[in-house]
Amino acid sequence: MNAQINRYKQQAAERAVAYIRSGMVVGLGAGSTARLAIQHLGHLLREGVLKEIIGIPCAEVVAADAREQGIPLATLEDYPVIDLTIDGADEVDPRLNLIKGGGGALTREKIVAEASSREIIVVDESKLVPALGTGWAVPIEVIPFGHGSQRRYLESLGAVVNIRRKTDGSVYYTDQGNYIFDCKFGPIPDPAQLAHKLDARAGILEHGLFIGLASEVIVAGADGIRHITL
């Protein structure tokens, strides 16, 4: 099953990269499917199929992967408008709202998404859900100061809150030096309303609800590739 899902991810990644043209500024997302897109983009650059690409990575680990692939990198200060971003998602609802942040890069991913003229999400079909929160917790980045009060606030909204930890049991820190609370809300009837409540709370830096940011979603599955737009 895992090998099949990996094939789906590869198919979705390659389809998204096909939209990149020479000379573009490209946002490089995080996660397993987005990493496959980075690898394929690097291959096309080495083969000379694409030229003069500038990558804007959304995480330090993404930047390291891109450098290994020989992708030239810059920052949003150098290129404030991104032509096309390819990123993954943990869940996608029928309105193309997303849960993101499983890889811990949600804040930079959202900054890159908001700077992008076109945001293509690449997923395998298992990521499509009738409602966000169906099977995935919402990652929420909080500053360490006063994080206990943020936990209580999130619990008051109905979340089961767990601080993210690394495999060795130590606390996970984002590239900004913050914590991530993985918050299980169950199916979320109104993700925009929840996003508004999270946005209004001091101490919550960012959350993994991406509302209205995806231009299109490329889904790979047993029936082939689907390209979903609103």
Q: How many CB atoms lie within 10 A of CB 141?
A: 23
Catalogue the active-site residues: 109
**Cα-flanking dihedrals φ and ψ of residue 39, to 5°?**
-65, -40
Answer for the pair 92, 129: CB distance below 8 angstroms, yes or no: yes
- Backbone dihedral angles phi then psi of residue 15, each to the nearest 5 degrees: -65, -40
Contacts of 158 (CB under 8 A, 6+ apart): 185, 186
Helical residues (DSSP H) of 87-228, grouped into ranges: 106-114, 147-156, 191-199
Q: What angle do CA 108, 21, 79 make, to 5 degrees?
A: 40
